[in-house]
Structure 1
Amino acid sequence: MADNWVRPYEPGPGRWLVIAWEAFALAMLTWATIRQFDLMGHGLRVVACLLAAVWVVGAWRILQLGVYVSPEGVLVRGLVRSRAMRWREIAGVRLHRSTHRLGPFEIENGNTVLLERVDGATVNTELWEKGMDFHTRPKVFRAVYQEIRKRHQTAAADPA
């Protein structure tokens, strides 16, 4: 597929908070592991380097997380895996109001963007109006949703 993927929005400042929180959590895990097992010398360096490498990879994936578009299709980059689809594989783009049940209570979780595939399946995107990119920027969330819909409609109208 395309090499010209574009994320139609700037990442929010919440990503840096998540990365900092993960750094703190892994530093605490490193400290606890070293104290628990009385590590010294090479053992200490191995644990510290291993958890630092986990943090670097995780931070890189968090920075790359999101939905990217190109004239050929859409790319959804998650924390663990990525998924590319051509526009012709997508039947529609819609908002989904997600909720969680906690006993008799239903907790509103905000809107997410879903891609409806031609085969009837749906694909969750990383776009969530209360997520780290859009929590304080609801207008940006709506604009991104409209941009993805517009690109899908343009691709569907062009049979080439």
Structure 2
Amino acid sequence: MASYWIRPYPPGTGRWLVIAWEAVALGFLTWASIRQFDLIGHGVKAITVVLGLVWVIGAWRILQHGVYVSSHGLLIRGLVRSRRMHWHDIAGVHLHQSIHKLGRWELQKDMTVVIERHDGATVNTELWAQGVDFHARPKLFRAVYQEIRGRHQTATGV
């Protein structure tokens, strides 16, 4: 599936907050590790380089994280892996409202976009109404959902 992938929404500012938070956390981990193990010289350089690389790779994945579309299908990029699906393999694109329960209390109702495949399996996307990209932009969440659904309908003639 060689085609041009686009993310139908701009990333939210929350991503930059997550990346900054991770930089501070890894900086603290580096400092604590150096102090805990009494590292000097090459040990300090090694742990700094290793944790710096972890941060760079993690930041890059956070920036690439999301749902991409093309004329051929859908690409879901997560933090660890990516998944591609052709439009003809997708039976439908739906909104799903999940409720988290703790005993008899309902904690939160979340809207997510779920992909239903023709074999009956469902695939969770990275699109979450309360996530870093859409928390302050609920209209954009609905617009992205409609965009993906419209592309699916156009590609499959449904």
TM-score, scaled to structure 1: 0.97
Q: Is the 8 A contact 1:109 1:130 kept in 2?
A: no
Q: After superposition, where does 1:1-80 map in structure 2 within 5 Å?
A: 1-80=1-80
Distance in 1, matches of 2:54 and 2:2, equals 29
Q: Is the 8 A contact 1:113 1:127 kept in 2?
A: yes
Q: Is the 8 A contact 1:100 1:108 kept in 2?
A: yes
Q: After superposition, where does 1:1-160 map in structure 2 within 5 Å?
A: 1-157=1-157
**One-letter code aligned to 1:144:** V
Q: Deviations over 1:42-80 (max 9, x none)?
A: 001000000000000000000000000000000000000
Q: Is the 8 A contact 1:75 1:82 kept in 2?
A: yes
Q: Deviations over 1:89-127 (max 9, x none)?
A: 000000000121112111223200000001000000000
**Unpaired segments of 5 or more residues in structure 2?**
none
Distance in 2, matches of 1:61 and 1:24, equals 17
Alignment size in residue pairs: 158
Q: Is the 8 A contact 2:3 2:72 kept in 1?
A: no
**Unpaired segments of 5 or more residues in structure 1?**
none
Q: Is the 8 A contact 2:94 2:114 kept in 1?
A: yes
Query: Shift of residue 3 of structure 1?
Result: 3.1
TM-score, scaled to structure 2: 0.98
Q: Is the 8 A contact 1:75 1:84 kept in 2?
A: yes
**One-letter code aligned to 2:9:** Y
Q: Deviations over 1:10-51 (max 9, x none)?
A: 000000000000000000100100000000000010000000
Poorly superposed stretches of 4+, deviation over 2 Å: none
Distance in 1, matches of 2:79 and 2:101, equals 25
Fraction of identical pairs, as percent: 67
Distance in 1, matches of 2:24 and 2:136, equals 24
